[in-house]
């Protein structure tokens, strides 16, 4: 087993509790699915949100789907002029048998523009 970091992001439609929570759920579930992981494989998760997302903590969405015993941290992205709005990013640390080259990073919806080389 190796420790790996998996990146991802999703752009959500609006700044609301439901949009933030559902965006986090969609993003984390896809990271797990794409990398054949389950929650016990996860060591920690860092979630960031662009400064225009203020209605909820992204970690709440993670806890809603079973990440309650995982170390979670929320942070705000730096406010760069012209940056893509309403984006939630994740860096998930896990234990896996996959090599670094086998890891699938997940960029969903409008966030595909952030990493066209990795987007689904």
Query: Is 30 known to be catalytic?
Result: no
User: Is 4 considered catalytic here?
Assistant: no
Write b or e for each residue in 99-119: b if 16 or more Cβ atoms lie within 10 A of its Cβ, otherwise e. Answer: eeeebebbbbbbbbebeeeee
4, 86, 89, 94: the catalytic one is 89
The answer to whether the beta carbons of residues 15 and 86 sit under 8 Å apart is yes
The question of whether 63 is a catalytic residue gets the answer yes
94 counts as catalytic: no
**Catalytic residue of the set 4, 21, 86, 107:** 107
Catalytic residue among 74, 86, 94, 95: 74
User: Can 7 be counted among the known catalytic residues?
Assistant: yes
C-alpha angle 80-86-89 in degrees, rounded to nearest 5? 80
Q: In what order do the strands lie in the sheet with 71-76?
A: 71-76, 42-49, 87-96, 2-11, 106-108
Which is the catalytic residue, given 4, 7, 26, 102? Answer: 7
Q: Determine which one of 4, 77, 86, 102 is catalytic.
A: 77
Catalytic residue numbers, as ranges = 7, 63, 74, 77, 89, 107, 115
């Amino acid at each position: 087993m190796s420790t790996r970091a998996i990146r991802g992001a999703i752009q959500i439609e609006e700044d609301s509790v439901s949009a933030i929570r559902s965006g986090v759920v969609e993003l984390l579930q896809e990271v797990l699915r794409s990398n054949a992981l389950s929650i016990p494989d996860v060591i920690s998760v860092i979630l960031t949100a662009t400064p225009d997302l203020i209605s909820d903590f992204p970690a709440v969405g993670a806890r809603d789907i079973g990440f309650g015993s995982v170390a979670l941290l929320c942070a705000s992205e730096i406010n760069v002029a012209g940056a893509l709005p309403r984006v939630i990013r994740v860096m998930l640390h896990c234990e896996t048998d996959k090599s670094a080259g086998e890891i699938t990073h997940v960029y969903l919806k409008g966030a595909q523009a952030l990493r066209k080389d990795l987007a689904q």
